[in-house]
Structures are given as C-alpha cells and as structure tokens.
Amino acid sequence: MNKFLLFLLLLSTPILAFSQHHTEYYDDGAKLSKVIYVDGKFDGDVKFWYRNGNLQSKGAYKNGVPVGKHTEWHENTYPKSVTFYDKKGKPMSYTEWNQDQQKIMEGKFVSGKEDGPWKHYDERGKLVKEEIYKDGVLIESKGH
C-alpha cells in the first residue's frame, strides 16, 4: 500500500523543467558565450563575446523565443543593432549603426512584419533611401 501512495504522490507532483547553465570558451580561455537552456531551448539571458572580451550580443529568451531588447555590438564596443521583440517573439522595431556610431537603418514591425517607413542613412547620417512597407510588402521606395 505504501508503494501505491508514493506512486500517487509522484503523479500529483508537478514536473520541473530541466535547466542548464552553459558557458563556452575560446581556445585561449576567453569567454565565448553564456546561455541558459530549459528543456533544450534558450531561456533567460543569452550573451556572446568577441575573442578580445568585448560583448558581442545580449538578449533574453523565454522558452526559446526572443523577448524584449536584443543588442549587438561592434568589436569596438559601439552598438551595432537593437531589436525589440514582443512576448511572442515577434520583432517590433530595429535600429542599426555603423562602427562610427552613425545610424544607418531604422524601422518598425507590426505583427512581426515590416510596416511603415524604413529609413536608410549614409555614413554621415544623411537620409539616402526610404522604403514604405505594409504587412511586410514593399509598397514604395524613394531615394533622397
């Protein structure tokens, strides 16, 4: 009878997800990545580094889906891109910069698809092209 009660207790206990913190290193010992896996999927903060120790990218995941702010950096530590994701993992906005910190592209998403103006800039920050999207389809492209 005791074995049967133990069996019922085990069945009624919620199953905990298996989580694993994983850190990888370059050949020379420099940190390459630090991730958390839950049931084989990214879950939590995920970070990657360049060999020189500078942060390459950082973002949060929930059950394998990107959420919130995800940032990439150039090797010189200046921001390269920022993407914001909603809680379902669909991108909401994107901005990109060159190595000299000059914005080179920006745009927004609706339901994970490009929507509205997407602006492209030259290396001095001058607007050179504007693309208009609706539901992920390019409607118009204008050079400036």
Query: What are the pLDDT digits (tens) for 90-144?
Result: 999 999 999 999 999 999 999 999 999 999 999 999 999 999 999 999 999 999 7
Q: Do 66 and 51 touch, CB atoms closer than 8 A?
A: no
Please indicate, yes or no, whether residues 98 and 132 belong to a single structural domain of this protein. yes
Does the pTM of the predicted model rise above 0.85?
A: no
Contact 143, 134 (CB under 8 A): no
Nearest Cα to 22, choosing from 53, 44, 50?
44
Task: Identify whether residues 61 and 116 lie together within a single domain.
Answer: no
5 within some domain? no
Query: Domain check: are 97 and 109 in the same one?
Result: yes
Q: pLDDT digits over 3-44, tens only? A: 543 333 344 444 445 679 999 999 999 999 999 999 999 999
Instruction: Give the end of a domain, one of 87, 102, 122.
Output: 87
- Beta pairing, strands 113-114 & 65-73: unpaired
Whether 27 is covered by a domain: the verdict is: yes
103 lies in some domain = yes
> Same domain, yes or no, for 32 and 83?
yes
Check whether residue 39 and residue 77 sit in a common domain: yes
Measuring CA to CA, how many Å separate 96 from each of 27, 103, 115?
31, 6, 17
Domain that holds residue 123: 90-144
Domain boundary at 42, 65, 87, which? 87
- Which one of 66, 87, 108 terminates a domain? 87
Backbone φ and ψ of 71, nearest 5°: -125, 140
Q: Hey, what amino acid is at 80?
A: K
Residues 81 and 95 in one domain: no
The domain total for the chain is 2
The 3-state DSSP class for residue 8 equals: helix
CA distances from 19 to 4, 24, 64, 88, 131 (A): 30, 16, 12, 21, 43
